[in-house]
Amino acid sequence: MSETVDLLIEDPRWQTIGLEEISQAAADATLRHLRLDPEAFELSLMGCDDARIRALNVEFRENDKATNVLSWPSEERASEQRGAMPELPQTGGGPFAEELGDIAIAYETCVREAEELGRSTTDHVTHLIVHGVLHLLGFDHIDDKDAALMEGLEREILEILGISDPYSITD
């Protein structure tokens, strides 16, 4: 069985929460939910710190701050129609997995956000990886229609993984 996620851990703190297992489960669940075979696809994930993701955010988005997750799709798959499904990748059935792109995730920001949201770090990181994989597949949240589609899929996938709705408002 091939692994969907090619993981690079730059910050060893990621090993303490089991980033390898979390990322594999999140990526596979996302692909399966969209009726894609996880064994036919591959993505790269870098577990880094805030300093590294800030540098990446400056370089690629001209945004000089740390963020939780960044993604770089291997192809543009977004639909031209707002709120519509993107063109999901097809495999040629060859011997090599199709590369979906790269994701970077920052330790300090993820831990801080999880605490602020009152969620476990594992649940929050799982959500962010599902979010990143959806970006690689052409989903986005630029406008309300796209956001509704993407967030709906996130809710469905996280429910399959036994994680409560990250968008629900609880007091």
Rounded to whole angstroms, what are the CA distances from 5 to 38, 54, 118, 135?
10, 23, 28, 15
**DSSP label at residue 80:** S
Q: Is 135 annotated as a binding residue?
A: yes
In this structure, the number of other CB atoms found within 10 A of the CB of residue 139 comes to 25
Taking the C-alpha atoms of residue 20 and residue 73, their distance in angstroms, rounded to an integer, is 20
Torsion sign across C-alpha atoms 110, 87, 149, 40:
negative
Q: Is 124 annotated as a binding residue?
A: no
Taking the C-alpha atoms of residue 13 and residue 153, their distance in angstroms, rounded to an integer, is 29
Q: Is 33 annotated as a binding residue?
A: no
Which residues sit in the known binding site? Answer: 131, 135, 141
Which residues sit in the known binding site for Zn(2+)? Answer: 131, 135, 141
